[in-house]
Chains A and B, each alone.
Chain A
Amino acid sequence: MAAVTLKSVKKNYGTTTVVHGVDLHIEAGEFVVILGPSGCGKSTLLRMIAGLEAITDGEISIGDKIVNELEPRERGCAMVFQNYALYPHMTVSENIGYALKVAGLAKADRMARISAVANMLGLADFLDRKPMQLSGGQRQRVAMGRAMIREPDVFLYDEPLSNLDARLRVAMRIEIRKLHQRLGTTSLFVTHDQVEAMTLADRIVVMNKGQIEQVGSPDDVYHRPASTYVAGFVGSPGLNLLSVIIDRASQQIRFKDGQAIALDSTHWPHLPEGPVTLGFRAEQAAIVSEGGLTISPHFSEALGPSRLLHGTVGAEQAVISIGGTQHYADDAPLQAEIPSNAMHFFDPVNGRRILPLP
């Protein structure tokens, strides 16, 4: 178990920079999920920690060692790859035990540890099979076993669940979390699936275009998004984002289409006069009979427990969530009330969050 620290870590491929100076500290034993869209540099970050890619600039330390120049095998990291990267010519037991064999452990010791790991992962019956003869979920377990057996300081997972079907994905997610509770190994888990991120993480790191947008607990990221990017990316649907103008004199929030609602300026003392971006969650707006924000819905989606009404305010999109059994005529305008403490405001230029009460 070891802490991992990144200090302004950069990565260039030729002239393009794919990771722009990332700072991050991961506590020993923490489970951190890196969340971001495809191509944002998540894998690159992970691979730099593992030593599979050289870093262009900055410093990475694991435990109290700076590992910039260390080879992968000297870093004490184990990695689970997206395509599992099992050795196709070795049996399950050889796959799991390969690291021990390289380390020169005696065969008897090796077998003992292999069978312990295999039992923990429910692989005991497959030890003599080749990876070709396993199902996707079983291969996934073998990859986990191969990482676990070395008792590494850090586990690195690069989208390990994305090749599994939906049900298996949920099951494996729970297993990974349980495993972490049992072993307590520092873990970094890369995914672009926000449900995975929310359910697994102690802390989530949201990345975009090679930069960290926000680091925080799942609650933080969901309820206190640090930027419009995080706001739109996290949650399904993402935060509603509407351009508004703050009029402190009349204590009003004015919308592009001329509507206005009341502003609670005691709650928002630092809110600047003029244009800002207003955000609110679909499920935190309540439908009222009058005095709310008028939204014109044009279609609805039934999700089971809830129903999403998609509509517009002026030219902008807004989504409201209502109970799954409630019905609403698709084309009649509705009034939505947004409680003051459910409002988020963002700088319209750089997208950063504007804090409420200090």
Chain B
Amino acid sequence: MIERTPLLNLATYAVMFIGALVVFVPLWLVFVGATLTVREINTPELHYITGSHLFENLQAAWARGNLGGRLLNSLIMSLGVATGKVVMSALTAFGLVYFRFPGRMLAFWLIFITLMLPLEVRIVPTYAVAANALWPFQSMLDVSGLTGLIQMLSGIQIGLEWNLLNSYTGLVLPLIATATGTFLYRQFFLTVPDELLEAARMDGAGPFRFLVEFLMPLSRTNMAALFTIMFLYAWNQYLWPLLATPDRAGFGTTAVVELKLLAPTVSTNGGGTPDWNVAMAGCLIVMLPPLLLVAFMQRYFVRGLIATEK
């Protein structure tokens, strides 16, 4: 459109430029911080010119935070959540959309209500479940009196126990027990024309074939979007890994949780000044993977965000 609005264009660029500064300046200060020595960084002034100790600080952060193992934990957990979510969402949505069975609507609502309440608000009992994933089933046996009955008949005391703390399973499962992706897939399957199934069926395709050879290829972009979003979501998790990995010496925890220990707070070190240079170096390392992912997958990422929040 032809528009002669030089002043307005200038103002628009000014707004965008300031916005870019607001984004950049903190990141730049972190980077600068990661290049200084402890002495340099603790002089009371604003540090905006890089020093020459980036590599040492990265090494120090890597060693002090045990970041190699922590990043691997983060990676496995994030891949687990992303993959688990994509697979389970597709299967569930397929079951809900392409089959008719008694209780289908009930199942639908049971699954979709989970969208309303995030993990954070039921964190305490979820922790209890993770400590013994079979607790719900044991309780049901107990309450229904089956435990007692079985004990009377066979003399065996049933004690179901499956501790998920300090395990990848424990990190992943509670995070995929929501309907986010399921909803996305359901919406997508509903837009697939009925004729496709009819045609596929005439060609002799059964449910598995139809899912794998027709629906999956059609939903490739959705899948990429969901995967990206879920990977970021999992990488970003803080509260759940903090609780689910109490064994810091053995299993360790995720890189994101470890980050806090690089710059302890009042409650953990009594208020001493942290080694900011090493902390910032750790920050850089932990920030990098999701930034790279978003840089390469920006299209899918934006699309996925918008689709999953609807």
Contact = CB atoms under 8 A, between A and B. Distances in A.
A and B touch in the complex (CB under 8 A): yes
Interface of A: 51-54, 69-72
B309 interface: no
B8 to A, nearest CB: 12
Interface string B121-132: 000000000000
A72 B1 contact: yes
A54 B3 CA distance: 9
Given A52-B1, A72-B1, 6 more contacts: A51-B1, A69-B2, A70-B2, A71-B2, A71-B3, A72-B2
Contacts of A51: 1-2
Nearest to A51: B2
Interface of B: 1-4
Contacts of B3: 71
Contacts of A54: 2
A130 to B, nearest CB: 23
B9 to A, nearest CB: 13
A72 B1 CA distance: 8
Contacts of B4: 69, 71
Main SS class of interface, A: loop
Chain B interface mostly helix, strand, loop or mixed?
A: loop
Nearest to B1: A52
Nearest to A54: B2
A28 B243 CA distance: 79
Contacts of A72: 1-2
B95 to A, nearest CB: 36
Contacts of A71: 1-4
Nearest to B3: A71
B140 to A, nearest CB: 51
**Among B1, B2, B3, which residue has the most Cβ atoms of chain A within 10 A?**
B2
12 contacts: A51-B1, A52-B1, A53-B1, A54-B2, A69-B2, A69-B4, A70-B2, A71-B1, A71-B2, A71-B3, A71-B4, A72-B2
Contacts of A69: 2, 4
A71 B3 CA distance: 5
Nearest to A52: B1
A72 to B, nearest CB: 7
Nearest to B5: A71
A72 B3 CA distance: 8
A53 B3 CA distance: 10
A230 B62 CA distance: 74
A52 B4 CA distance: 13
A338 B216 CA distance: 61
- Nearest first, the 8 A-B pairs at minimum CB distance are A51-B2, A52-B1, A54-B2, A71-B2, A71-B3, A71-B4, A72-B1, A72-B2
Contacts of B1: 51-53, 71-72
Contacts of A53: 1-2
B213 to A, nearest CB: 35
A54 B2 CA distance: 6
A52 B3 CA distance: 9
Nearest to B2: A51
Contacts of A70: 2
A96 B172 CA distance: 57
A72 B5 CA distance: 13
A54 B1 CA distance: 7
B5 to A, nearest CB: 9
A53 B2 CA distance: 6
Contacts of A52: 1-2
A292 to B, nearest CB: 50
B2 to A, nearest CB: 5
Nearest to B4: A71
B1 to A, nearest CB: 5
A71 B2 CA distance: 5
B38 to A, nearest CB: 54
Contacts of B2: 51-54, 69-72
A53 B1 CA distance: 5
